[in-house]
Structure 1
Amino acid sequence: MSLFKNLSESFSREAKKYTTIFLPKHRVDIDIDDTPISLGDAYCRIWLEDMNLSKDVDWFKQRYPVVHAATRFHYDGELVTIPYLAAPGKLKDVGSSNLNKFIQDRYALTPLFPFNQGLVEFQAGLFSIAASDPVGKFIETIGTFAKLLPVAELSSVLNLAEPVYRGIEDLLNIGQQQFELGYQQTFSDADGGSSNCLREGYFAIILAEEYQLNLDNLCVVNDNLRESSPGKNKLFIRDSKPFQGYSYMLFRIEKRKQQDWESLKSIKELVAQAQDEVLLGEYEKVKKFILPTIKTTIYRSPDITKFDRSQMVMKIEDFLKELGLQGSKVQKRSLYSIMQRPLPQVDATTQAELDILEELFHPKS
C-alpha cells in the first residue's frame, strides 16, 4: 500500500524533530509484565491512550487534528494492514477551550489479535487538516467505519480494511493535510534478537528533540503522560503533574493470555449446540459429528493463538464429556466459562490427535 510507504518516508525525514520513549515499568502506575512476547503465546492490542496538541495551531477553527494509525501483522497466513482514524466525535462541539474532549479519548487501534507469526509493523501520524464542513464530514464517516475493525473475530470485518485504508489515503490527499508528528516501529518476537521486541507497556512520541526533555521525569498515571521527580519508587503517582508544552501521542501495547471468548461467534454457537444435544441425550451424535466440527473450527480459526488451540479443544471436550455423564446435574456454560476451567490431563491418544490437527491445519514450513 502506497500510503504506508509514503508515510514511512515522511517519518524518516522528520525523525530528528521528535523523541520516542518506551516508559520503563517503574514509571507506570499499574503493574506491567514487560517480558518480550513469544510467538503463539499471547493476544495483543495497541491503544492510543493520550494525546496533547501544542498551542501554536488554532485547532478546530483553522485545522482539524487527525491521528492515522496502521498496524501490519500476520493473520490467517497473510500479512494484513489494519487502519484506524482517530478524530473528534463531534467536530462542531469541540473548540480550543475544551480540547480535552478529544485528546483524552482512548482509541483501540487494533483488534485483540493473536501474535502467532512474523513481525508487527506499526505506524501512527498526527496530521492537521484544513478545516471545512466537507472535510469534517469525511473525517466522521471514515472514522465511523474504522471503529468497526478492532473486534476479536477480525475475519468477520476484514473486508472493510481495504476500503477504510483507501478512504484515509484519499482524505490525506485532498484535505490539505500537514504532517505534525509521526512514529513507526517494527516489533519482533522474544526470539527475534532485537531490542524492539513486542511487549506490554506504554510508549510515547513527542514533538521535541531529546535535548529539550528530561526523559527521566516522564511517567504514566491513569493512562496519561505526566511528569514528576525521577526515581524507581511510586511517589510519582502522587506528585505527578500534566506534561505540557509539546504535541505528543501516548500509546499502549496490551497483552492478554486469553481471547475475548464470547466474541468468537462461530465457535460459541457450535459449543452451545453441542451442549443442547448432550442434554437431549444425544452425546454419541455430538462425539461423532459436532465435536469434530468444533475441533476443525478451532484449528482453522485465525483468531486463536497456537498455544490456545489445543487447550480449547481439551477443555470443551472434557466439559461435554462431564455434561454427558451427569446430564441435568451439570448446567450449561458459556464459552468464556468453559475456558476458565482447569486444563484436564492429556493422555497419549489425545495428544496424538492434537498433534495431527496441528500438522493438518498448520504444517511447519
Structure 2
Amino acid sequence: MSNALQAFGSMVKGWVTANADHYLRVVIPADHVLPAPENSAPLEPDASYFRVWLSEMFLSKSVDWGAQQFPAVHTEVTLTFGNQAEVTFSRVSQPPKDQIGKGVFLNYLLSELMPYKGGVVTIDAALIALKGEDYLRTAIGVLQQFSGLVTAPLGEALNIAGKLTIGTRDLLASTGGNIHLGWHDSFVSKGGDGGLVMKPGFYAVILGTQQQVEPEKLYVKDGRLYKGNDLQSASPLSGFDYMLFRIEGRKERDDWRLKTVDEPLKKAKAALAKDNNEEFTAYRKVSLVAALESPDYSETDRQRVIATIKQELKKLQESGLGVLGIEEGKSFDYAMSYEEAHARGPISSHEALADD
C-alpha cells in the first residue's frame, strides 16, 4: 500500500491512541439490541457479504458547529478484493447544512455491499471538524456525490475508487481539519488472531470515559444508542458526542444482476428471439465469463448466478419464445439453493461454460 493510502489510517490510529483516556469503543452485545438481530454469527470467507453503515451520529454542544466549522465523516474500508490483497474503498458524508444544529444524524451508507474473502478487513472512520467557507462545503459535497458513483459492480470502479480516496485525503489535509472523533478496527475471520471477529453488529465510539458512560449499560433500539439499567427502560444517550456504526452481514446478494452479467444476458435472450444461434452462443458465454470472473460475488453466489443464467436461457430455449417469453420486470429466483452451492465449493471455468 502506498504512503498516500496509509496516511488516513495512521492519522485515525494516532488520534485513538492520543485520546485513549477520554474515548471509548464499545461493541454492543447482541442481547442489548432491539429488534433482536436475525443473525450475529461470524461471516464466513467466500460465502458472505458485508456493508458498513453510520447508524447514528450525535453531536452535543461541545463544539460550535456552524458556517466556519462543519462536520464531515470520512470512511475507508480496506480488504482483500478479487485477486488484490489490499483495496481501499472510501466514502465522505456530510449532514445537510440546515440540519447541523439538530445534533442527530441517522443512517448514512458508508460502503457498498462487498464480498468477504477472509484475511484482514480494516475500517477507519473519522468525524472531522472542517474549517472553511461555503466553497469548502461545496467541494466536500462534490466528493460526496462522487462517492455515490463507486457502486456495484465494484470491480469496474477500482480506478475511480482509488482516485477518490487520494483526492478526499488531499482535500481534507489542505483544510487543516482536525479529527473530532475516530474509529479504527481490524477484523478477521473466526479463529483468526489480531483483530475482532468479522460479524454483523453495532460498534459505538464515544467521547467519554468508562466511568462517565458505563458501557455495560448501553443498548441499541431501532438503530440508535440508548443507556439504562435494562433494554426496556433505557433512554437515548445524551451529553456525549458519539457515532454508532453497524456492520451488516448477508449470505447472498439481492442485486446479483450486475450490469456486466445482465447486459450480455439480455442480448443472448434477444438473439433467441431472432433465432440467431451464433449471437446467442457468443453472448451466453460473455455473461457466464463475467459471472465467473467478477470480484463482486462470493464463491458460493458465483455458483448460483452461473446456474441461474443457464436456467433462464434454457427455459427460454425450451419455450421457443426468446425474449418475448419474459414478462416485463420478471426476475427468476436463484436456480440453486445457498446450501447446495456452498457444499459444491468454487466453480471451475470448465463447469461454468459447460452446456448443461
Normalising by structure 1, we get a TM-score of 0.83
Q: Residue 121 of structure 1 aligns to which amino acid in structure 2?
A: T
The separation in 2 between residues aligned to 1:70 and 1:352, in whole angstroms, is 31
Counterpart of 1:338? 332
The answer to whether the 8 Å contact 1:268/1:335 transfers is no
Counterpart check, 1:10 vs 2:12: no
Counterpart check, 1:311 vs 2:316: no
Counterpart of 2:90? 83
Change (3 A) 1:64 1:161: same
Q: Of residues 43, 50, 59 in structure 2, which corresponds to 1:53? A: 59
Q: Of residues 289, 300, 305 in structure 2, which corresponds to 1:296? A: 289
SS in 2 for 1:212: helix
Counterpart of 1:147? 148
The separation in 1 between residues aligned to 2:216 and 2:346, in whole angstroms, is 53
Aligned length: 342
Q: Of residues 317, 325, 328 in structure 2, which corresponds to 1:324? A: 317
1:269-305, CA deviations, whole angstroms, 9 ceiling, x for partnerless residues? 122122223344456863x433332221111111111
Matches within 5 A, 1:24-35: 24-30=29-35, 31-35=37-41
Counterpart of 1:363? none
SS in 2 for 1:320: helix
The answer to whether the 8 Å contact 2:67/2:134 transfers is no
Change (3 A) 1:159 1:284: closer
The answer to whether the 8 Å contact 1:299/1:357 transfers is no
The answer to whether the 8 Å contact 1:76/1:302 transfers is yes
RMSD of aligned Cα (Å): 3.0
1:31-51, CA deviations, whole angstroms, 9 ceiling, x for partnerless residues? 231111111111111011100
TM superposition shift of 1:256? 1.8
TM superposition shift of 1:344? 11
The separation in 2 between residues aligned to 1:242 and 1:270, in whole angstroms, is 50
Counterpart of 1:21? 26
Matches within 5 A, 1:1-365: 1=5, 2-30=7-35, 31-78=37-84, 79-89=86-96, 91=97, 93-96=98-101, 98-100=102-104, 103-104=105-106, 106-149=107-150, 151-193=151-193, 196-230=196-230, 236=232, 239-261=233-255, 264-282=258-276, 286=280, 288-328=281-321, 331-332=325-326, 337-343=331-337, 354-357=347-350
The answer to whether the 8 Å contact 1:123/1:182 transfers is yes
TM superposition shift of 1:160? 2.1
Change (3 A) 1:254 1:192: same
1:186-235, CA deviations, whole angstroms, 9 ceiling, x for partnerless residues? 111234256611111111111112122222321112211122332xxxx5
1:104-150, CA deviations, whole angstroms, 9 ceiling, x for partnerless residues? 3x22111111112422110111121224223222222222222322x
The separation in 1 between residues aligned to 2:329 and 2:251, in whole angstroms, is 16
The answer to whether the 8 Å contact 1:203/1:250 transfers is yes
Normalising by structure 2, we get a TM-score of 0.85
The separation in 1 between residues aligned to 2:351 and 2:70, in whole angstroms, is 49
Structure 1 gaps, min length 5: 361-365
The answer to whether the 8 Å contact 2:204/2:242 transfers is yes
SS in 2 for 1:304: coil
Q: Residue 272 of structure 1 aligns to which amino acid in structure 2?
A: K
The separation in 2 between residues aligned to 1:352 and 1:74, in whole angstroms, is 19
1:16-62, CA deviations, whole angstroms, 9 ceiling, x for partnerless residues? 32111121112112323111111111111101110011212111144
